[in-house]
Amino acid sequence: MTAESSGGHEKMRVVLIERFGEPSELRQREVTRPDPRKDEVLVKVHAAAVNRSDILNARGIVPFKTLPRIPGRDFAEVVVEGPRDLVGTEVWGTGDGDLGFTRDATHAEYIVLPGGTVVSNPDNLSLEGAAASGLAYLAAASALLKLGGVSSGETVLVTGATGGVGSAAVKIARWKDARVIGAIKDASERETAQRMGVEVIVDTSREAVSEAAIAKTGGRGVDLVLDTVGEPLFEPEQPGHKGRMVVITAVGETRVYFNLFDFYRKELRLFGLNTLMLDAERSATVLKDLIPGFEDRVLQAPPIAGRYLLEEARSAYALVESGEVQGRVLLIPG
């Protein structure tokens, strides 16, 4: 049963991409608040993270867009219209192939979502923490759990271990009782990596990742590699027998070369993960599997580096685009 409709006349404030260009051109606008249709819910946004893909979206670099469009992928919200048993429920989530791309999204006061995307917020995770967690944990869990199939006792190598996806991957690996080798860019990240629970640290400013992976496993190689950095590093000697590697990005030189003989003799597997192929509903199924980890406090929200109102969206986007922020940047519609 659906709660009474708002009638489609009320207004709400949003960040609106009206034409592709510089994120500094983004403006707050007023639009008509949407009404949920059958099997949809209307939620009031409490907080929404700003991701680099939102910046690429504003510039017109990411595909699947039509204008005008309200951007935003991660969210934490309260259901205000929909099935009576859901009204008042705190929910969180993220969307990749749809939210902000093919449908209006979370950088707004309200958003309409398919009912299947609703995931109740873990009891001990604040709404801001939930808004900061969606995309990073979606990517890390899809890589380690869905593709990589990490299991207890395995050794996982995470490049970019102190970054958003990397730190989420470290926590998920530890939650699954795996040993973690974390690759960092220099000594300035060592303390952060240790605090996160990385057991063995590879400082890439001083040692090669592929050689370190062999040395730090007694020559056996690791069971699973998650590359969040995107630099060409795949070498068949890096993973052990039946080892797996998941790649989620590519920068610089994108061609890699390796010994195909070693690759098939060791029965290795190489996966590519494109989170843009996961819509909000498929993302919800991944996040639901993580709730026990958050409730056990093994999985934790990333730090929040800044909070901005909708009218300050340009500043929030600029901070994320600078790459100089440690932690997540949130838009707070209220």
pLDDT higher than 90, residue 209: no
Is 296 inside any structural domain?
Answer: no
Mean pLDDT of the chain: 89
Range of 32's domain?
11-121+303-331
The pLDDT of residue 7 is 47
- The closest alpha carbon to 113, from 50, 31, 43, 16, belongs to 43
The pLDDT of residue 4 is 36
Alpha carbon distance 92, 189 (integer Å)? 29
Alpha carbon distance 127, 331 (integer Å)? 12
pLDDT higher than 60, residue 254: yes
pLDDT higher than 60, residue 1: no
Is 247 inside any structural domain?
Answer: yes
175 and 267, same structural domain? yes
Out of 83-87, 162-166, 206-210, least confident range: 206-210
Scan for tokens 């992928």, then name that residue.
Answer: 73
Q: For 257-284, b where at least 16 C-beta lie within 10 A, e where not — what string?
A: eeeeeebeebebbbeebebeebbbbbbb
258 and 162, same structural domain? yes
Using pLDDT thresholds of 50, 70 and 90, give the confidence band for residue 5. very low
The pLDDT of residue 134 is 93
Angle of CA points 101, 276, 196, to nearest 5°: 120
CATH code of residue 221: 3.90.180.10
Q: Are 80 and 42 in contact (CB under 8 A)?
A: yes
pTM: 0.90
Q: What is the mean pLDDT of residues 157-179?
A: 95
pLDDT higher than 50, residue 112: yes
The pLDDT of residue 257 is 78
The pLDDT of residue 101 is 82
154 and 189, same structural domain? yes
Is 66 inside any structural domain?
Answer: yes
Out of 11-20, 96-105, 193-202, least confident range: 96-105
Q: Per residue, what are the HEC states of 83-109?
A: ECCCCCCEEEECCCCCECCCECCCCEC
Start-to-end CA span in the chain (Å): 28
- Residue 260, amino acid: L
Reduced to 3 states (helix: H, G, I; strand: E, B; else coil), residue 306 is strand
pLDDT higher than 80, residue 309: yes
Q: Are 33 and 6 in contact (CB under 8 A)?
A: yes
Is 149 inside any structural domain?
Answer: yes
pLDDT higher than 80, residue 34: yes
Using pLDDT thresholds of 50, 70 and 90, give the confidence band for residue 326. confident
Structure tokens at 252: 């610089």
105 and 37, same structural domain? yes
224 and 152, same structural domain? yes
pLDDT higher than 50, residue 77: yes
Is 251 inside any structural domain?
Answer: yes
Is 182 inside any structural domain?
Answer: yes
Quote the number of domains for the chain.
Answer: 2
234 and 178, same structural domain? yes
Q: Are 166 and 159 in contact (CB under 8 A)?
A: yes
213 and 322, same structural domain? no
- The closest alpha carbon to 139, from 331, 24, 31, 282, belongs to 282
Is 1 inside any structural domain?
Answer: no
Point out which residues pair with 83 in neighbouring strands: 2
Alpha carbon distance 256, 320 (integer Å)? 29
Last residue of a domain, one of 273, 290, 315: 273
pLDDT higher than 70, residue 237: no
Q: What is the mean pLDDT of residues 161-185?
A: 95
203 and 229, same structural domain? yes
The DSSP code for 256 is: -
Q: pLDDT of 36-56, one tens digit each?
A: 998 899 999 999 999 998 998
143 and 95, same structural domain? no
Q: Are 181 and 155 in contact (CB under 8 A)?
A: yes
Torsion of CA 291, 297, 298, 299, to 10 degrees: 50
Using pLDDT thresholds of 50, 70 and 90, give the confidence band for residue 230. confident
The pLDDT of residue 8 is 53
pLDDT higher than 90, residue 258: no
Q: Are 222 and 200 in contact (CB under 8 A)?
A: no
Out of 85-99, 126-140, 232-246, least confident range: 232-246
Alpha carbon distance 46, 76 (integer Å)? 6
Q: Residue 32, Cβ neighbours under 10 Å: how many?
A: 12
202 and 256, same structural domain? yes
Alpha carbon distance 58, 71 (integer Å)? 8
